[in-house]
Amino acid sequence: MDLNEALEKVRPYLKQVRFEHTKRVVDTAVKLSEYNDVDLYKTEIAAAFHDLAKYWPRDEMKRIILQEEYLPKDLLHYHHELWHGPVGAYLVKHKYGIEEQDILDSIRYHTTGRANMGRLEKIVFLADYIEPGRDFPGINEVRDMAWNDLDKACLMSLQNTIQFLMSKGATIYPDTFQAYNDFTQKLS
Ligand code: DGI
Ligand code: FE
Ligand code: FE
Ligand code: FE
C-alpha cells in the first residue's frame, strides 16, 4: 500500500476537516522523519491512518476493546476520545493487513503517548500535535523544539496536554502520565 492508497482508504471514514488534518499530519510527520532518518513508508502509512477510527461507532469500538485481549479494558472507564487510537490500530491490522508493529503502535498510542515510545511513535504523536492547523497555547515552542530534540518536544506537548486536561477537571489516562514521567526521567 502506498500513501495515496492509504489516504483513499481513510477518506470515506473522516469528515473533510479531519481529512485535511490527516494530510497535514502526514506532511509534518514526513518532514520529521526525513530529519531524523526514520522510514518514510512507515511514517506515511502510520500518519495517514492515525485517525481512522475517529468517528467509528462507539458501540463497535467498545466491542473491539472488549474482544481483543491485548487491549486494556480500563480504556472503557475513560473518555471515549481515547478509544480511536487503539481501535484504529486494530482496524488497520485486520481490515488492511498492516503488520508492522511500529506502525500499529504509532496509531495505537498517538493520543495518550506511553513510556518508552519508539521514534516513529514520537513522530506521529508530535506531528498530530504540531501540524500547521493546530493552535494550542505554547504550540510554537513545541514546534521549534521538534527540530532540536524529539524527546523534549514530546515532553512539552505532554505537559501542555496534562495541564489543559487538569484545568478542565478531566481524567488523565495513566499512559499519559507514564509518558510524561519517562521523558522527564530521560531528560534529567
Ligand atoms: O484525534 P485528534 O483530535 O487529531 O488528536 P488526539 O488523538 O491527540 O486527541 C486529542 C484529544 O484527546 C483532546 O481532546 C485531548 C484528549 N486527550 C489526550 N490525552 C488524554 C485526553 N483525554 C483524556 N481524558 N485523557 C488523556 O490522557
Ligand atoms: Fe487522534
Ligand atoms: Fe495528539
Ligand atoms: Fe489527529
| Measured CA distances, 28 to 130, 132, 165 (Å) | 8, 8, 25
Q: How far is the CA of 165 from the centre of ligand 1 (A)?
A: 9
Q: How many domains does one find in the chain?
A: 1
Whether 60 contacts 50, CB under 8 Å: no
List the chain pLDDT tens, one digit each, 188 residues.
999 999 999 999 999 999 999 999 999 999 999 999 999 999 999 999 999 999 999 999 999 999 999 999 999 999 999 999 999 999 999 999 999 999 999 999 999 999 999 999 999 999 999 999 999 999 999 999 999 999 999 999 999 999 999 999 999 999 999 999 999 999 99
**Nearest alpha-carbon partner for 36 in 184, 155, 149:** 149
Decide if 145 is inside a domain.
no
The pLDDT, as a whole number, for residue 117 is 98
Q: Is the dihedral of CA 101, 106, 112, 115 positive or negative?
A: positive
The pLDDT, as a whole number, for residue 127 is 98
The answer, yes or no, to whether any atom of ligand 1 lies below 6 A from the CB of 165, is yes
Ligand nearest to the CA of 88: 2
> What does the angle CA 82 – CA 172 – CA 25 come to, to the nearest 5 degrees?
45
First to last CA, the chain: 41
For residue 185, which amino acid is it? Q
Decide if 140 is inside a domain.
no
Best residue for ligand 1 mutational test, from 28, 80, 161, 171 (most atoms within 8 Å of Cβ): 161
Query: Looking at residue 104, which CATH number applies to its domain?
Result: 1.10.3210.10
Between CA 110 and CA 139 the distance in angstroms is 17
Domain, as residue range, for 60: 3-132
Decide if 142 is inside a domain.
no
Ligand nearest to the CA of 130: 3
